[in-house]
Structure 1
Amino acid sequence: MIRRIPASALEIPERLREAECAPEWLWIAGALNPELPAVAVVGSRKPSPYGRRMARSIAAGLARAGIVVVSGLARGIDAAAHEGALEAGGITWAVLGSGLRRIYPVEHTALAQRIFVSGGALISQFEPDRGPRPEQFPMRNAIVSGLSLGVVVVEGAERSGSLITARLAGEQGREVMAVPAAVDRPLGAASYRLLRAGASPVRDADSVMEALGIDRGERPDPPALTYKEEGDTLAERKVLDLLGSDHLSIEELSGETGFELPRLLSLLSYMEGKGLIEPVAGQGYARS
C-alpha cells in the first residue's frame, strides 16, 4: 500500500527530517527504517562496463555491511546500485522523480517490484499518479542525498545530474565521495571535478565506510515483505484470468484488477515464486 506521511514523521530518517530540502509530504511503499545507516550511489545513465561493475560491487559491499543503498531508479549506475544491493540480500531505497504509480523509466518496473518485496522502499515527494517531468529530478536528487550519510558518484559527464546530487550533498553537510575514472574519457569528468574539489576517493565498500567513519558490522536481516492476505487465491485467479494466453504489462494489470501498485507487485512476486506466472522482459507478465 502507498502511504502518505509527513516528512516530519519519526518514520523518516532524522537526516532528511532536518534537511532544508524536506518536502511537506512523502509517499512511501515498503519498509523505511530510520535507524539504518544509508549511503547513496549515483552516476551516469550510460555508464561504461567499468562504472556499472564498480557501482554494483560497492552497493553489494555496503548492503552486506548492513547499510541501506539509496539511489534514484534511473538507468545505468542507479539501476546497478539497486541490483548490487538486492543481489547481496540487502536493503535499497529508490527515490523516484515521478509518482509511485508512474514508475519511471517504465522498464524498471520489475526492479521496483524487487526492491519492494525484498524489504526496501519506493519513495516519492510527488502524488502517486504524477508523471515524470524534467524539473522534478533535481528535487528527487535532494531527497536521495538528504536520506544518506554520504553520496558516492560513479562516472558522469561534465553536466551529469550526479553532480547536482553531489552539490546538494555538500550543502547538506554530507560526505561526498567519487570513484576515480579515466580522465581522458567523458565519463571521467564528474569524478575528476569532484576529486579536485576535495571529494574522498573510494574504490570499494570498505573505503566508503572508512570515509564515513563507519565500522564494519553484521548485516541485519532485512524485514520480510511477502504477499500474505486472506483471499489471495481469489486475487491470483483474477490475475490468471486476465493473463489468459497473452501477457499484460504491470500498468494494464493494475488497471484491470484495481489493485494499487505495491499490492500488485507483491502479489506478482508471490505468484512468480509459486511458478504460476513468469516475467516477460520489458513487457510485464505471462502465465508460466
Structure 2
Amino acid sequence: MQQDVARETIVTDNNEQALINWLILSQIPRFGVSRWLKLNSKFEINLEELLTSSTKTLDGFGFNQQQISVITTPNRQLIDTSLQWLYDKEQRFLIHHAHSKYPYLLKQIASAPPVLFGYGCCDLLSSHQIAMVGSRNPTHQGKESAKRFAHLLSESGWVVTSGLAMGIDGLSHQGALTKKRSTIAVLGTAIDKMYPRRHIKLAEQILEHDGVIVSEFAPLSPSRPENFPRRNRIISGLSYGVLVVEAAIKSGSLITARYALEQNREVLAIPGNIHNPLSAGCHLLIQEGAKLVTCIEDILEEFPKINQSLSGVNNDKLQNKSSQSLASDKLLDSVDFEVTPLDIVAQRSNIEVTEVMSKLLELELRGLVTSVPGGYIKLGEK
C-alpha cells in the first residue's frame, strides 16, 4: 500500500519531478543541455533513467568520477532552496529546457541554460526582443542614445532586453519604461540577489510594468566574476539582434556581440566620435560587418517580417516622426552633437545671446538639446 501511495505522488507531481531532474542536471560539471541531448539521442534514454542509473552504467556513458558523484549524490539543499524560493511568493517561475514555455530562440543556442529562474510572467520571454548593451560608464551622448533607442524600439512593439548593469544596460531599461512598456533584465547573479544594489528600484519598476527578471543561477548561489560574461549569451540568445550603444575594444558588450554572431543573431552598432575610446568597440564591429545604426529605421529594416507582425503599433507614424529633419530649425541646426558653447550657437544662428538662452530652454524642455558643462549638445528625435 505504501508503494502505491508513493507511485501516486510521483504521477500527480510529475511537473515538479521533471523540474528536480533538470535542477540535478544543472549541477553536473562540464555537462550542459547540448551534451545531454546528444546522449539522449545516442542511447535513447530519458533524464529520469539517466539520473537513476548505476555508477557502472554512467561510466559506460562516458561520465567521469566527479560527474558521477554529482548524479548519484546531488546537492539536495540547492534543490530544496530552489523549490522553496519558487513557492514562497507569487509571480515567480522556474522553467527547464524541456518546458513548453522555455523561450524558443534561447533553446536553439549551443549553451542554453538547463533552467531559468524568474520574476514576472515568463510568457514575455517568447516576445520579439532586441538586446541593448554598452559601457558601464557611457558618455552623455551614449546615455541619451540608450534611452532614445530603447524608447523608440518599445514604441515599435519590440521588447528591450539587457543586463540591469550600471550604464547603458540600466538606461536601456529606463528608456523602455518611459511609456510604461515591458522590458527584460538578465542577471549575472543569483535570482534572489539584485545587482547592482542601486538598481533595486529599477528592478521593482520593471516588474511593476509587467516586465521580467531572469537568472540561470539558483537562490543563494555565490557571486562570481565569470558569471557576468556568461549571462551575456542569454541576453543575446533571447533576442533577434543585439544593439551595441557604446563599448571599448575590450568590454563585456563585445562578448555579447560575439555570442550573437555565434548564435546567428543580427549585430548592430551605433557609431560615435573617432577619438572616443568608448566608440572604438562599435567601430570595430561595424568594420567586421555589424549594421551601422543612426536611427530607428536602421534597426527596423533588418526585421521586416517581424515588424509587419507586431500589432498595435503605427510604424509609419513613428518613421515620419523620426525622419523629420532636425536641421529645419535654424537655432537647433547651430548646436552640434558634441558640446557647443553658447556664444558659438549665437554666432552661428545670428541670434542675440539672451534670446538664444530662452530658445535653448524651450528646446531642452522638448528633449531636443541638453545643457552640459561648457554649452549644449543636440539630442536625437524623441
With normalisation by structure 2, the TM-score equals 0.56
Structure showing the higher strand proportion among its residues? 1
In structure 1, what is the equivalent of residue 199 of structure 2?
Answer: 108
- SS of residue matched to 2:302: helix
Q: In 2, distance between residues paired with 1:4 and 1:31?
A: 11
Task: Report the counterpart of residue 81 of structure 1 in structure 2.
Answer: 172
Which one has the bigger helix percentage? 2
Q: Distance in 1 between matches of 2:312 and 2:116?
A: 27
User: Which of 73, 82, 93 is the equivalent residue of 1:3?
Assistant: 93
Change (3 A) 1:101 1:34: closer
**What code does the residue aligned with 2:182 have?**
I
Q: 1:160 aligns with which of 251, 258, 271?
A: 251
Q: State the 1:144 CA deviation.
A: 0.1
Superposed counterparts of 1:221-240, under 5 Å: none
**Cα distance, 1:66 vs structure 2:** 1.4
C-alpha contact (below 8 Å) 1:175/1:212 kept by paired residues: no
Report the counterpart of residue 26 of structure 1 in structure 2. 116
Once the two structures are superposed, the pairs formed by residues 243-254 of structure 1 within 5 Å of their partners are: none
Q: Sequence identity of aligned pairs in percent?
A: 40
Gap change, CA 1:190 and 1:8, over 3 Å in 2: farther
Letter in 1 for 2:104: E
1:145 and 1:29 map into 2 onto residues whose CA distance is: 19
CA apart distance, 1:131: 4.2
Farther-moved stretch of structure 1 (80-89 vs 210-219): 210-219
Structure 1 unmatched runs, 5+ = 221-288
2: CA distance between counterparts of 1:79 and 1:131? Answer: 23
Describe the shift of the 1:67–1:172 C-alpha distance in structure 2 as closer, same or farther (beyond 3 A): same
Assess if the C-alpha contact under 8 Å between 2:125 and 2:238 holds in 1.
Answer: no
TM-score when normalising by structure 1 = 0.73
Task: For residue 27 of structure 1, report the CA deviation from its aligned partner.
Answer: 0.2
- In structure 2, the CA distance between the partners of 1:191 and 1:81, relative to structure 1 (3 Å rule), is same
The residue aligned with 1:210 is: 301
Other-structure match for 1:170: 261
**What is the identity, as a one-letter code, of the residue corresponding to 2:97?**
A
2:212 matched residue in structure 1: 121
With over 3 angstroms needed to count, the CA separation of the structure-2 counterparts of 1:127 and 1:56, relative to structure 1, is same
Aligned partners of 1:22 and 1:75: how far apart in 2? 25
Alpha-carbon distance between aligned partners in 2 of 1:208 and 1:89, rounded to the nearest angstrom = 22
Partner residue, 2:223: 132
Aligned-partner residue type, residue 136 of structure 1: N
Tell me the distance in 1 between the aligned counterparts of 2:227 and 2:312.
33
Larger Rg: 2
SS of aligned partner of 2:243: strand
Is 2:301 the partner of 1:195? no
Distance in 1, Cα, partners of 2:100 & 2:296: 28
Q: CA RMSD in A?
A: 1.5
Q: Deviations over 1:15-41 (max 9, x none)?
A: 001111211111011023254210000
Larger mean CA deviation between 77-86 and 206-215 belongs to: 206-215
* CA distance in 2: counterparts of 1:212 and 1:106, whole angstroms: 35
Shift in Å, 1:211: 2.0
Per-residue CA deviations over 1:59-94 (Å, capped at 9, x if unaligned) read: 111111111100000000000100000112211000
Tell whether 2:14 aligns with 1:14. Answer: no
In 2, Cα distance between equivalents of 1:62 and 1:14 = 21
Cα distance in 1, alignment partners of residues 113 and 126 from structure 2: 20
Contact 2:191/2:216 (8 A) holds in 1? no
Gaps in structure 2 of 5+ consecutive residues: 1-89, 314-382
Any conservation in 2 of the 1:66–1:90 contact (CA below 8 Å)?
A: no
Once the two structures are superposed, residues 109-164 of structure 1 have per-residue CA deviations (whole angstroms, 9 ceiling, x without a partner) of 11111111110100000012224321101111000000000000001111111000
